Structure 1
């Protein structure tokens, strides 16, 4: 992108999307603990309890495999509570991909759609009018959020495993 997403702060009616901070690690760790059992093991807490809050804080501070530099922390404006992340990362084919994950306690309130709209507008302004997103076939809530954001399923299966099928969606310029 033309500018470092970590230097960006986006605001919406109810949310602030800002650079990740070490203190966000506790909420990001909670996201790891809440993940559906169908999520592949490398994206869940392992038998030794990793990643720990400290592991995640280290990744925010200095960067390791748990860090995703294009992801912004999603904060409720009213309470300053961290509820998850949303942003643009690049997939294995170097495509800009919208990614989001919010605490289960705030699901079904439109926050993912609201955060996604802000990130889409920012990405368009930064020179990325077309965005992709992959989503597990069983993750109906995320599929609905992506549909509301103008993403269409392409019919391409990115990955297929015992955990399900990961579907590729795309949002074309002007959608």
Structure 2
């Protein structure tokens, strides 16, 4: 099912044939550079099922992104319930993860703008986004889509003192 389209991208539901590329993407150290570790096949398959379940429960989630020009699956951009306790939870985040070969082409920004444009129709009034403070490329996407930096926090699921632990927090009211 196609949810949204942009000039260059289709944001759609996930297909079983996306799984091999999703597994490869989550094993790629370039993609997972700002995460604690790459994901195993089993971890990615579990993530894939959680994405599907969230769509079933909510009617929205992390949309598979494909290039219009080739039909190639290149990653995801979308909405996800935040899965840890913090001052800003419960809440919904907008996030993205793209295959490294498709970084620095503006795809995350283009897709995220489209998701934001439609998020208000889903009954959502505020979205958050966060990333490791050292993940400047992702933080730039947050800025480009009009989010406001509201602070920093220590991610409760990461080891204190890790270079990935301190996160920047952005928010947008819809």
The TM-score range, normalised by the shorter chain, is: 0.7 to 0.9
Can you list the C-alpha shifts for 1:46-101, whole angstroms capped at 9, x where unaligned? xxxx225xx645654xx359976411100000100010001100113231110101
Moved more, 136-145 or 122-131: 122-131
Aligned length: 157
For structure 1, list consecutive stretches of 5 or more residues without a partner in the other structure: 1-6
Matches within 5 A, 1:40-51: 40-41=36-37, 44-45=38-39, 50-51=40-41
Using the size of structure 1 for normalisation, the TM-score is 0.79
| Structure 2 match to 1:83 | 74
Change over 3 Å in CA distance of 1:157–1:59 after alignment to 2: closer
Equivalent-residue separation in structure 2 for 1:130 and 1:122 (angstroms): 12
Partner of 2:26: 32
Given that residues 40 and 163 in structure 1 are in contact (C-alpha distance below 8 angstroms), is that contact kept between their aligned partners in structure 2?
Answer: no
Structure 2 segments unaligned to the other structure (5+ residues): 56-60
Which of 3, 10, 24 is the aligned partner of 1:16? Answer: 10
Q: Measure the CA separation in 1 of the matches of 2:134 and 2:52.
A: 24
Quote how far apart the aligned CAs of 1:138 are. Answer: 1.0
Q: If the length of structure 2 is used for normalisation, what is the TM-score? A: 0.79
Asked whether the 8 Å contact 1:158–1:168 carries over to 2, the reply is no
Give how far 1:158 is off: 4.4
Provide, for residues 108-159 of structure 1, a one-character-per-residue CA deviation record: whole Å limited to 9, x for no partner.
1110011001111121121213210111111111111110001121113141
The structure 1 residue matched to 2:116, chosen from 101, 117, 120, is 120
